[in-house]
Amino acid sequence: MTDTREGCLRVGQLAPDFTATAVVDQDFKIIKLSDYRGRYVVLFFYPLDFTFVCPTEIAAFSDRHGEFKALNTEILGISVDSEFAHLAWIQTDRKLGGVGDLNYPLVSDIKKDIGAAYNVLDPESGVALRGLFIIDRDGVLQHATINNLAFGRKVDETLRVLQAIQHVQTNPDEVCPVDWQPGDKTMIPDPVKSKAFFAAV
């Protein structure tokens, strides 16, 4: 694999490993990204606890966690807050701007090492942009998107991309065209064989 230093990260590389404290079921736990080898991981960064767009995203991913789990996938949320801030936010009701109990770990990146490794830190604000990364069972980064601070992501699109990744890894002779959903036609990446797809659509 090629170099993954800050600024060099790209899909197709091994995702930078990390060890950090996370809040899991209202308890503190040391986790490593490499502990999830053999499973897919949706790793998403968000700016700060107790803010505005962030709880909507975190709650939405938690509410849909079962769909990801059914696809052998764990979700990890991460910000520059401490584990203590994470715990306080989890213990705050959603109606009061908290996130309530979550179905996945919230990771503390208080030293900002992880955000730097994934090249999502905003130097002006000192927080992470809304980076989202899908990492496969072998620890390889397959998908990366980064939103600016003021607007959130779409869980359905993350799920769709995850399903597409899993499909092409299970069916390496196929590729997924635009807006592909499970059950849709795929394409064989060959100048002649691909014509069957184009003829059908």
- List the catalytic residues: 54
Q: Which pairs with CB-CB distance under 8 Å and at least 24 residues apart come from 150-158?
A: 150/53, 151/53, 152/53, 152/56, 152/57, 153/44, 153/57, 155/60, 155/61, 155/64, 158/42, 158/132, 158/134
Pairwise CA distance, residues 109 & 21, whole Å = 8
Query: Whole-angstrom Cα distance, residue 174 to residue 62?
Result: 31
- Laid out side by side, the sheet with 130-135 consists of 27-32, 19-24, 106-108, 73-79, 40-45, 130-135, 141-147
- How far is Cα 153 from Cα 135, in angstroms, rounded to an integer? 17
Q: Are 77 and 104 in contact (CB under 8 A)?
A: yes
